[in-house]
Amino acid sequence: MEVRVDGNRAAEAVAEIERVWHLCAAPDDDDNFDAVVRMTFDDASADLADIDAGVVQGRSLPNLMQVLTQAVTRAAIDAQKGHLVMLHAAGIQCPDTGAVVALVGPGGTGKTTLIRTLGPGKGYITDETVAVTADDIVLPYPKPLSVRREPGSMWKDETDPLEFGVLPPLRSAPLAAVVLLDRQDGYAGPPAVEPVDTLDAIAALTPETSHLPELEKPLQRMAALCDNVGGVMRVTYAEAEHLAPLVHGWLGAGS
Amino acid sequence: MPVQDEVIRDGESVVLLDRQVIRLSAIGTTLLELTGDWRELEELTVDLTDRFGQPPAGFDATAMTEAALQALHGQGLVELG
């Protein structure tokens, strides 16, 4: 993935990208890019974001950074179709073993909140997409955390994840657990965990994947993934902080 | 109708058709398996009752088979002639 920046204020944009995206930086000697996003930061630019085309431009850097994240995520997901299982999930890693738990939920579930609440002291894999290879190894996507500027606002500030106390991901990242999130505002009591039958898990996980049908034998791949982590669980809860002991256990179970 | 992929466990299944994943009961899974070629409703009813037994008193096996076929048809999994 390459981001090309131009415009009369390109230097400022590059500095900001390097600041908040540093966990995703490619090695200096890596010049094999599978996707490109183009960004223009210029005082004369009209605001424009064509996420499908991977083109963003504008004259407000915070707004531009937000749509850049959307464009980079889309381009990265599209570049990996047919190769990886991509779950809409927050990924948290055990800092000792590298084991990863994928907390799967649709947009609005609060995956960024989960990372901010449960992630400090643990490896930050992603708050967006947990990408899994055919060997059930997770490829980290430690993008900036998109933090809502104020309650109810559609605008978010792209933030360096390390500001929230998470750790950079370890390179070795075996998938240890897959958990379906069922957050219910009115739910009272401790989180309820239940195992999910593999067929039901496949049906529930599929809408929370990207490009699954493009994989070879996609349902059999999902079944193998579910089996290899010892089965999928569903957790019903109200507040992210209540999941802390469970996440600790799931990460330990993978070691 | 050909499905792109399927997983069968304990007689039940999930199938992939046109980017949709459909969860099927044991009867739905069996019917899909039995309808690879054109079949008569009465034949399918006999096959189903052979495998699953007769329905409870007051229910008609042929009507239940037809209802299950209609459900599969509604999901795009079988053609009805």
Measured between CA atoms, how close is A203 to chain B, in angstroms?
6
Spans of all domains in chain B:
5-74
How much is the pLDDT for A202? 97
- Given a cut of 60, whether residue B58 has pLDDT beyond it is yes
Task: Count other C-beta atoms under 10 Å from residue A100's C-beta.
Answer: 33
CA–CA dist A85, A176 (Å, integer) = 15
> CA angle A110-A114-A120, nearest 5°?
155
Ramachandran quadrant class, A121 (left: phi over 0; alpha: psi -120 to 50; beta: rest): left
- The residues, any chain, with a CB within 8 Å of residue A248's CB and separated by 6 or more, are none
Helix (H, G, I), strand (E, B) or coil at A230: coil
% pLDDT > 70, chain B:
99
How much is the pLDDT for A64? 96
CA–CA dist B39, B52 (Å, integer) = 18
Mean pLDDT of A10-14: 97
Question: Is B7 in Cβ contact with A202 (below 8 Å)?
Answer: yes
Helix (H, G, I), strand (E, B) or coil at B18: coil
Question: Is A220 in Cβ contact with B15 (below 8 Å)?
Answer: no
What's CA A76's distance to the chain center, in Å?
A: 11
In this predicted model, what pLDDT tens digit does every residue of A199-224 receive, in sequence order? 999 999 999 999 999 999 999 999 99
How much is the pLDDT for A27? 78
Task: Count other C-beta atoms under 10 Å from residue A78's C-beta.
Answer: 14
Q: Which of B12, B16, B23 sits opposite A218 (nearest CB)?
A: B16
Query: β-strand A175-183 against A100-104: which pairing, if any?
Result: parallel
Question: Is A202 in Cβ contact with B21 (below 8 Å)?
Answer: yes
How much is the pLDDT for B1? 65
Of A22, A15, A18, A34, the C-alpha closest to A81 is A34
Q: Which of A198, A199, A218 sits opposite B5 (nearest CB)?
A: A218
Instruction: State yes or no: ipTM above 0.90.
Output: no
Question: Is B16 in Cβ contact with A213 (below 8 Å)?
Answer: yes
Mean pLDDT of chain A: 94
Mean pLDDT of A122-135: 97
In chain B, residues with a C-beta closer than 8 Å to the C-beta of A222 are 7
Q: Looking at the complex, does the CB of residue A226 fall below 8 Å from at least one CB of chain B?
A: no
How much is the pLDDT for B69? 96
Helix (H, G, I), strand (E, B) or coil at B6: strand
In chain A, residues with a C-beta closer than 8 Å to the C-beta of B22 are 203
Q: Looking at the complex, does the CB of residue B23 fall below 8 Å from at least one CB of chain A?
A: yes
CA–CA dist B61, B59 (Å, integer) = 6
Report yes or no: B75 and B14 within 8 Å, Cβ to Cβ.
Answer: no
Which of B3, B10, B21 to mutate to probe the A interface, most A CBs <10 Å?
A: B21
In this predicted model, what pLDDT tens digit does every residue of B18-52 receive, in sequence order? 889 999 999 999 999 999 889 999 999 999 999 99
Mean pLDDT of A128-153: 93
Closest chain B CA to residue A222: B7
CA atoms within 13 A on the CB side of A69: 26
How much is the pLDDT for A236? 97
Q: Looking at the complex, does the CB of residue A219 fall below 8 Å from at least one CB of chain B?
A: yes
Q: Looking at the complex, does the CB of residue B19 fall below 8 Å from at least one CB of chain A?
A: yes
How much is the pLDDT for B32? 94
Measured between CA atoms, how close is A50 to chain B, in angstroms?
25
Phi and psi at residue A156, in whole multiples of 5°?
A: -130, 155
How much is the pLDDT for B14? 97
How much is the pLDDT for A254? 44
How much is the pLDDT for A255? 43
Task: Count other C-beta atoms under 10 Å from residue A253's C-beta.
Answer: 14
Domains of chain A from N-terminus onward: 2-79 (no CATH), 85-253 (3.40.50)
Report yes or no: A128 and A104 within 8 Å, Cβ to Cβ.
Answer: no
Of A115, A117, A139, A138, the C-alpha closest to A127 is A115
Largest CA distance in chain A: 56
Helix (H, G, I), strand (E, B) or coil at A252: helix
